[in-house]
Structure formats: structure tokens, C-alpha cells
Structure 1
Amino acid sequence: MDFILMTEGDTPVGLTHEHRYRELVEEVLLAERVGFDAFGSSEQHVALGTASVSAPEVLYPYLMALTSRMRFIHLVTLLPTRMNHALRVAERVATEDILSNGRVELGTGRGNTTLALRAFEVDPSENKAQWREGIELIRSAFLNDVFSYVGEHYKVPPRSLVPKPLQGPYPPISAAAGSPSSVETAASMGIGAIMGGLYLGFDLVENMVKLYDDTLAATNHPYPITPRKMVAVAGGMHCAETTAQARLEAKPLFEMAKLSTDAYERLSKLSKDYAYMGAVKDIDFNDEEYMFERSQGFMVGDPEHCIEHVQRYADMGVEALVLRVDSLPHDQLMRSIELFGKYVIPRFKHPRNVVRSADDVLAEIRAARPAHEEALRQFNDTHNLAQKETVR
């Protein structure tokens, strides 16, 4: 399983964006040192709280120059035509791929806030089709030299992409998939799906993972595929020395979750493509037990408790976890990243190297003795019989 650190530069009242960005850089560098596989941020515009990263394509190259191993995934690049022309996205990602030596991935979406959609004059009833055409145009530009495209929203004459990306056939592509319909669409297109984000529980996500597998296997794919089952822990991951401490420190994340989903019900009424978001109205964001343990929106606890949560995803067949680590004081975020990297990630990346207690090892040694003694007895019997045959 891959572990992806996600932060959006959520900046508390009284702090400057400049200071929060400096903190963000420290968090990403620590994450690389302790074993996270990738870093990602969403693309949020004119946001009120919860996020300040509006230009990840500018932030990422700065971080790429400071890192050597960690990958960078856009979580997500918005593909309504008024926000990002798909051809410009292809050019930017190809440039990032070169500068990072092949460490960039493209997550995509269509926008989930009325603030941003209205600011850019995006029609919620059209942006899903724009997103889909954008994916097709980007893949064609990456894959074909010369490429062209004709659709409802894009009509690009024969051209050659400059520059070309390093990764072949192209950098991995995925899509935000908050509904079963979106999961089916991503799987049918042969791209990764970033599932979760609605706080509706583990069963929904587990069903989405199965739906992704079934749809991917049942579809013929004209383009090279970049499949991956990804799940977002959108409310937040927070790891502390004890679960009680982690829960106490993480309570402010509930307010972030309420604020970030505030537009979902309004969006659900603007377009049938967003209808599934209306389910958020039934979530009780004040039910601490549900939110922390059953909503699927959080992973909060001591390292052992976090390991239990990760194992639940591993048992579903999830291939990557997107862990939002944000909206808390910088020192708490740094400690959370360090604890998770030191004690949780190795249990899934390098389990044979994790040091166990002497008592556990000794108990296994004692349990293994009877089988060893039986094997030794059989060996001696066979050896003695062979010696007798030799004497004869």
C-alpha cells in the first residue's frame, strides 16, 4: 500500500499564508524522511477556510527540488474548461515530470464548491462532460505525436505536445470518485479512482472498491490504463502517543469537515451529476464516536489504533491511502507525521523489519519446539535406518 500525505495549507485566523506555506514545506520534507510515498494537495480557488493552495503546479516544482524520492500527485486538478484548459494541464504535468525526474501523477476532478464554480462561471451541468473530454485530450496529447481531438468542448487540430513527459506511456492519471457512478466512470476509462470523502461509512467505500475491480475487468480499454484503487481519509489523519490524546487534539477537524462539505447539499440541487452529495445532510458531525470510528472520514489514534484502521483498508484491496494532515497546529502535525511514519507505515511496507517484543518472539519459539523436535526425531530415525542398510 502507498501512503500519500495530503495538506491544503489550511491557515488559521491570525496567521499569514506565507507562514503556513513555510510550515507546509517542513511537513512535506519530514514526510519524505519518515517514509511517506507521495505528497498531494487539492486545487482550491477563492476558498473560505480549509485550504489555501490555489496553484499546486507552482508549489510542486519548489518541493520537487527539495526532495529526491517522494512522488507528487495533484489531488486534484480541476478540468472545467474555464478553470484549466486540458492542453495547458498536459504541458504543465509534462514539465513537472521532467523537473521531478518522473515523480508526478495527475489526479483530476470537476470541482466541489459553489464558491469556485461560480467564481469561474462554470456550469455544474456541463463540467462532468468537460472533465471527461479533458482526460481524453490529455491522454491523446501524452500518447500520440501528432495528436488531435474533436469533441463538444474541445476541438484541437493536429499538434505535437511540447515538452513530452518522462514516464511511459504517460504519468499515472486518476479521478476523484465520490459516488458509485464516478467509480464506474474512472474504471471504464482505465484510470485510478480516489474514493471516499462523504463520511458515509466503510461499507460504501468497500462496495466502491469492488465496483471498481468489476468494472475495470469488464471493460475494453483503447488507451494504456493506469488503474489504482485509492481512498481518501478526507477529514484527517492524526496520530498521537495515546488515542485519547489524538482524539482530544483532533476535535477541531470536525469544524473543518463541516465547512468543507457545506456546499455539497447546494450542489446536489444544481445538477443531477452532483445529486449524490445531498446525502451529507444526514451526517451528524457532532457524533464523535461515529465520526472518528465509523464515518471513514478520519484515522485518529495512537499508532496501534491507526494500524487497525489501515489494515481495514488493506483487507478491502485498497492500493493507496490519501491522508489529509492539516487544520491543526504545526507542532501537532509534525508529531503526527513522525509517529505515523515511524510506527504505522513500516507495518505495511517492511513488516519483517519491525522489531517485536522479546516475549512475543519467545512465545513463538516455544510454540515451534514440538514441530522441530518431531522433525528431528524423523530425521534420526531415517538416518539410523540408512546406516543399518549400509551395514547389511
Structure 2
Amino acid sequence: MRFILFSEGETQPGHTHAQRYRELIDEVILAEKVGFDAFGCSEQHVAIGTAATSAPEVIFPYLMALTSRIQFIHLITPLPLRINHALRVAERLATEDILSNGRVALGVGRGNTTLALRAFEVSPEETKSQQMEGIEVIRRALSNDIFSFVGEHYKIPPRSLVPKHVQQPYPPILMATGSMDSVAAAARMGIGAMMGGGYGGFGSLQRMADLYDKELASAQHVYPVQAQKVAVVSGGMHCAETTEEAERWATTLTDSVLLSIDAYERLSKLSADYGSMGKVGNIDFRNQRYLFDESASFIVGNPKACIAQVQRFVDIGLDAIAMRVDGLPHKELMKSIELFGNYVIPTFKNPRSVVRRSDEILADIRTARPAHYAEREAYERAAKKNGEAAAKKADESVRDPAALA
């Protein structure tokens, strides 16, 4: 299991974006120190309240220079043509790949807010087709020295991408998948799928994971397969010394949740391509127990509780979890990152390295004693029997005249 710290630089009223960005830098540096595998933020434009990361391609190189191990993942880059030309995305990705020495990955999506789509004059009816063409343009540009493309939205004559990336065959690519159709599409393309984030629960996440595996195995892949199943814990992860404290802080995150999904139902009515987003209307976001325990969009509790919750994602067969750690005071976020990194991540990375409580070790020792003593007694009986047999054989050889000769 890989653990991804996900933040959108959510800035509280009365604070400044400048201060929040400085805090975010400290959070990423700490995340690398305590064992997180990757950091990701989404490209959110003209967002209100929940996100301030409109230019991850600027944030990432700064952080790349301050870190040495952690990977950086665009979660996500919207591919509507008016927001991001696919060729520019490929150029930026290759540049970041060089600057990070191969520590960058690209997650793409269609855009999920009417604020951004309308600001860039993007029709919801076109985002899906533009995304699919954009993925193809990016893969061709990264795969071939000379590439070209002709489609509905892109008509690119033969060109050569500059600069050239360092990862081979090219940096990993993932796609946001909010529906079964998009999960299947990602699997057939052989790219990663970012699943969940819609508060539909673990059953929905399991069905997505199973479908991904099935479609991946049956598809004919043109490009090298970069399969991975990533759960998006979009509600939030908060780890505290006690579960009561963690839930008290996490309760305040529900306001951010309601703000972030505000456009989902509207988008579902504007285009059939966004139809799956309308399902959030069936969820009671006032039901805290459902959100924290069953929505598959929160990980909240003390380290032991967080371990149990992460295990549910492991049991589904996922490869990574992208956890939103945001929307709370910087001090609390830093504590959460440190606790999760020091006590939760090692349980899944190297469980034998985790020091257990003395009473647990003593209990296991007592449980193991009967088998040990039984083995010891069996060994002693066998040794005595073997010794008696050897002595008898030696005595017989002494009595045998032929042996004496």
C-alpha cells in the first residue's frame, strides 16, 4: 500500500493564501520525513473556500528542490482544451520529471465544478471527449520521438516533444474515475484509476476495483501498462491521540465536503457524462457515523483506529490511498501527519519493525509455550530412543566375533 498526502491548500477565513502556502511546504517536508510515498494536489480554478492550488506545476518544482524521495502527483489536471492544452501538459510533465529526477506522475480529469467550467467557457458536454483525446495526445507525445494526432478536438501535425522526460517508458498516468464506465475506460487504456471520492461506500469501491481488474486483464493494450488502483479519501484523514479528539476536529470538515460537492448534482443535470455525480443526492451528509465509518471517504481516529480503517482499503485490493489532509489548523494537520506517518504507515510497510506492547508480547510467549514444550519432549524421547539404539548396536558389535575380526 502506498500512502499519498493530498492537499488543496484550503485557506480559512481571516488567513492569507501566502501563509497557507508556507504551511503547506512544511506539511510536505514532514510527510516525506515520516514515510509518506507521495504528495498530490489538484488544479482547482476560481474555487471558493475549499481549494487554493490553481497552479500545481508551479508548486511542485519548488517542493521538488526541498525534498529527495517523495513523489509528486497531479491530482488532478483538468483536460478540457480551454483549461489545459494536452501538449502543454506533456511539456510541463516532462520538465517536472527532469527537475524531480523521475518523481512525478500525472492524474487527469474532466473538471468537476461549474465555477471552473463556466469561467473557462467549457461545455460540460465536451469535457469527456476532450479528456479522452487529451490522454491520447499526451501518451503519443511521451512515447514517440515524432508524433501526430487528428481528432475532433486536436489536430497536431508531426512534431517532437521538448524536453524529454527521464522516467521510462514515461511518468505514470492516472485518471479520475467517478463511475463504473470511467473505471472500465481507465483499465482498458492500461492507466491508473483514482476511485471513490463520491462517498458511495466500501461496497461501491469494491465493485470499481473488481471491474478494473477484469477490464485490465481482458483488454489489448497499445501502450505499456501502468496499472494502479488508487482510493481517493476526499472527505479527509485526521489522526489524533484519541479517536474522540480526531472526530471532533474532523466534524468541522463536513462544511468543506458540502462546499466541494455543491456542483455535483447541477453537473449531473447539465450533461449525461456527469450523471453518476447525481448520486450524492442520496447521501445524508449529516450522518457522521456513515461518513466516518462507511463512506470510504474518511479515515479518522487514533492510530489504532486508522490502522483498522486503512486495512479495509487493503482488503479491497487497492494499491494506494490518496488522503486529503486539509481544512484544519496547521498545527493539527502537522500532528496528524506525524502520528499517521510514525504509527500507521509502518504497520503496512514493515509490520515486523513495529514495537509492540510488553503485555502483548508476553501473551504470545505464553501461548507459544505448550507447543515448545511438546516439541522439546518429543526431541528428548527421540534422542533417548536413538541413544539406546546406538548403545545396543555397539554392544552387539562387541559380542559379534566377525565384528572383532
Same fold (TM over 0.5): yes
Question: In structure 2, what is the Cα distance between the partners aligned to 1:377 and 1:157?
Answer: 81
Task: Measure how far apart 1:222 and its partner are.
Answer: 0.8
Aligned AA (2:375): A
Matched, 1:306 2:314: no
Matched, 1:17 2:7: no
Please give the per-residue CA displacement for 1:290-335, whole angstroms capped at 9, x wherever unaligned: 2111222211111111111100000111110000000111111111
2:76 — aligned with what? Answer: 76
Matched, 1:214 2:203: no
1:210 alignment partner, SS class: helix
Task: Measure how far apart 1:379 and its partner are.
Answer: 2.6
Question: In structure 2, what is the Cα distance between the partners aligned to 1:248 and 1:362?
Answer: 35
Aligned-pair identity in percent equals 61
Question: In structure 1, what is the Cα distance between the partners aligned to 2:129 and 2:214?
Answer: 23
| 1:166-177 pair list within 5 angstroms | 166-177=166-177
* TM-score (norm: length of structure 1): 0.98
1:189 — aligned with what? Answer: 189
Matched, 1:285 2:285: yes
Off by >4 Å, runs of 4+ in structure 1? none
1:63 — aligned with what? Answer: 63
| 1:358-373 pair list within 5 angstroms | 358-373=358-373
Please give the per-residue CA displacement for 1:180-234, whole angstroms capped at 9, x wherever unaligned: 1111111111000001111121111111111111111111111101000100110
| 1:58-137 pair list within 5 angstroms | 58-137=58-137
1:226 alignment partner, SS class: coil
1:41 — aligned with what? Answer: 41
Q: Which moved more, 1:267-276 or 1:366-375?
A: 366-375
Matched, 1:248 2:248: yes
Aligned AA (2:43): E
Q: Which moved more, 1:298-307 or 1:258-267?
A: 298-307
Aligned AA (1:195): M
2:8 — aligned with what? Answer: 8
1:226 — aligned with what? Answer: 226
* TM-score (norm: length of structure 2): 0.95
1:145 — aligned with what? Answer: 145
Task: Measure how far apart 1:282 and its partner are.
Answer: 1.9
Aligned AA (1:293): D
Question: In structure 2, what is the Cα distance between the partners aligned to 1:302 and 1:387?
Answer: 58
2:220 alignment partner, SS class: coil
Task: Measure how far apart 1:147 and its partner are.
Answer: 1.4
2:60 alignment partner, SS class: helix
Q: Which consecutive residues of structure 1, in runs of 5 or more, have no partner in the other structure?
A: none
Structure label with greater radius of gyration? 2
Aligned AA (2:238): H
Question: In structure 2, what is the Cα distance between the partners aligned to 1:307 and 1:98?
Answer: 35
Task: Measure how far apart 1:374 and its partner are.
Answer: 2.4
Q: Which moved more, 1:289-298 or 1:178-187?
A: 289-298
Question: In structure 2, what is the Cα distance between the partners aligned to 1:255 and 1:17?
Answer: 19
Matched, 1:336 2:328: no
The alignment yields a C-alpha RMSD, in angstroms, of 1.1
Question: In structure 2, what is the Cα distance between the partners aligned to 1:210 and 1:298?
Answer: 21
Question: In structure 1, what is the Cα distance between the partners aligned to 2:381 and 2:161?
Answer: 74
2:26 — aligned with what? Answer: 26
**Number of residue pairs aligned between Structure 1 and Structure 2:** 392
Matched, 1:386 2:386: yes
Aligned AA (1:102): G
Question: In structure 1, what is the Cα distance between the partners aligned to 2:165 and 2:381?
Answer: 66
Aligned AA (1:387): G
Question: In structure 2, what is the Cα distance between the partners aligned to 1:127 and 1:323?
Answer: 26
Question: In structure 1, what is the Cα distance between the partners aligned to 2:390 and 2:164?
Answer: 73
Aligned AA (2:163): P
Task: Measure how far apart 1:93 and its partner are.
Answer: 0.5
Q: Which consecutive residues of structure 2, in runs of 5 or more, have no partner in the other structure?
A: 394-405
Q: Which moved more, 1:106-115 or 1:142-151?
A: 142-151
2:275 alignment partner, SS class: helix
Question: In structure 2, what is the Cα distance between the partners aligned to 1:252 and 1:98?
Answer: 40
